[in-house]
């Protein structure tokens, strides 16, 4: 079994998108545009486009911090196989 790893640094220096098990999906209708998800993302890969969070899935590790911190729970973690 091969266990993937990334070198030290932020996700924007290390492509991690291929080895995540879960990915965040944002419900734009439910989002209150507070920016908390962007502030808590440890890798800084969440941006706000037209006031809706946008995720760079090439660098997202699927850690679920954004979903856990969202006050209205508009971010759901979905298995990569199911998304």
Q: Is residue 12 part of a domain?
A: no
In a domain, 20, yes or no: no
Contact 46, 52 (CB under 8 A): no
What pTM was estimated for this model as a whole?
A: 0.75
33-48 pLDDT, tens digit per residue, is 888 999 999 888 887 7
Whether residue 61 is contained in a domain is answered as: yes
In this structure, is residue 22 part of a structural domain?
A: no
Number of domains in the chain: 1
Does some domain include residue 6?
no
Both tokens of residue 28?
């734009």
For 70, the token pair is 């969202």
- Give the range of the structural domain holding residue 53, as residue numbers without chain letter: 28-79
Tell me the C-alpha to C-alpha distance, in Å, between residue 61 and each of 4, 24, 30, 34: 12, 10, 23, 22
> Is 23 domain-assigned?
no
The four Cα atoms 75, 40, 5, 82 give a dihedral, to 10 degrees, of: 0
pLDDT surpasses 90 at 25: yes
Domain of residue 70, CATH code: 3.30.70.20
Q: How far apart are CA 34 and CA 22, in angstroms?
A: 23
56-71 pLDDT per residue, tens: 888 888 999 999 999 9
């Amino acid at each position: 079994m091969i266990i993937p790893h990334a070198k030290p640094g932020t996700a924007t220096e290390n492509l991690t998108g291929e080895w995540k098990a879960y990915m965040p999906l944002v419900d734009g209708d439910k989002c209150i545009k507070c920016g908390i998800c962007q502030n808590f993302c440890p890798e800084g890969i969440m941006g706000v486009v037209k006031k809706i969070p946008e995720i760079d899935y090439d660098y997202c590790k699927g850690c679920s911090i954004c979903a856990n911190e969202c006050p209205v729970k508009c971010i759901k973690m979905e298995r990569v196989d199911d998304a």
